[in-house]
Amino acid sequence: MRSLRMRRGWIAMSMAGIVGVDDIIRAFQRAASWDALEGELERASGQLGCAFFALTHHVDFEGGTGRGIRLHNYPSSWEAWFDARSLGQNDPVHRASHATAAIFDWRDIERLLALTPLDRRVLAQATAHGIGHGLTIPVHVPGELRGSCSFATRRGQTLAEDVLPLAQIAGTFAFEAARRLVDPAPSAGLAQLTRRQLECIVWVARGKTDWEISRILRVSSATVTEHLRNARDRCDAPTRARLAVRALVDGAISYADVAER
């Protein structure tokens, strides 16, 4: 693991709030490699007053799933202890993040999760390995593995309360940068869809048949079928249902579009 280097002057912070949020966003958007992303996470950690970061999907990496992102600078002893017990899915911090969409302080985990004796042991072991006070930003992308981005101090240190907004922004955009590195153009096919094709997909997601969509859009049933066939071809989606799911996952349409009546 690369050692953390504290750097000053990246983001100016004050009692009135955070200055330079646009700089954070642009820095993560510019990260074009894993090394660059790691460097930006180090800088964000330093600005937050943290020594550690962990950007990860909640999977068992030691079990050889072959899937998921993990980028962190936790102590290697903690990584070994964690992986030996296959805690990727069962870690209490990870499980607590499944109960909220908002950033949370590790001191509030018991509000989100009924801790078991094993959970308490895991948290105690994290402290024993030198990890202190932390914050976690949940990442829930429909259709993808659950994940999170965490920032933590060394044992015995605490974080200031006013760093939560910066941590939320940094964690969110860091994870999005990692997703982009894994799949730099996940929506290439969807980006080519026409407005009328997207309208048809929305109605498919609402459970309408081609004939029903044709009545709603005041076109022929054959025209609707052709729009959807072309959309499936562009997006390599074998069925109408798969096309609608992909459009939702990739953000071409939203759940609000589908729920609207």
- What's the alpha-carbon Rg for the chain, to the nearest Å? 22
**Residue 150, strand partner residues:** 54, 136
185 — pLDDT class (breaks 50, 70, 90)? low
Average pLDDT over residues 4-26: 51
Q: Which fold has domain 188-259?
A: Arc Repressor Mutant, subunit A (1.10.10)
Residues 44 and 6: their CA atoms lie apart, in Å, by 9
Lowest mean pLDDT among 39-48, 132-141, 247-256: 247-256
* Rounded percentage of the chain residues whose pLDDT exceeds 70: 86
pTM for the structure as a whole? 0.68
pLDDT at 21: 76
The DSSP code sequence of the chain is: -PPP----SSSEEETTEEE-HHHHHHHHHH--SHHHHHHHHHHHHHHHT-SEEEEEESS-TTTT-----EEE---HHHHHHHHHTTTTTT-HHHHHHTT-SS-EEGGGHHHHS---HHHHHHHHHHHHTTEEEEEEEEE--TTS--EEEEEEEETT----GGGHHHHHHHHHHHHHHHHHHH-S-TTHHHHT--HHHHHHHHHHHTT--HHHHHHHHTS-HHHHHHHHHHHHHHHT-SSHHHHHHHHHHTTSS-HHHHH--
Q: Where in the chain is the domain with CATH 1.10.10.10?
A: 188-259
Average pLDDT over residues 66-77: 90
* pLDDT digit string, tens, across residues 201-225: 999 999 999 999 999 999 999 999 9
pLDDT at 17: 39
* pLDDT digit string, tens, across residues 83-94: 999 999 899 999
As a whole number, the mean pLDDT across the chain is: 86
Burial label, 2 (beta-carbon count in 10 A; 0-12, 13-18, 19+): exposed
* pLDDT digit string, tens, across residues 94-141: 999 999 999 999 999 999 999 999 999 999 999 999 999 999 999 987
pLDDT at 261: 54
Q: Where in the chain is the domain with CATH 3.30.450.80?
A: 12-182
| pLDDT exceeds cutoff 90 at 65 | no
Superfamily of segment(s) 12-182? Transcription factor LuxR-like, autoinducer-binding domain (3.30.450.80)
Confirm if 81 and 129 have CB atoms less than 8 A apart. Answer: yes
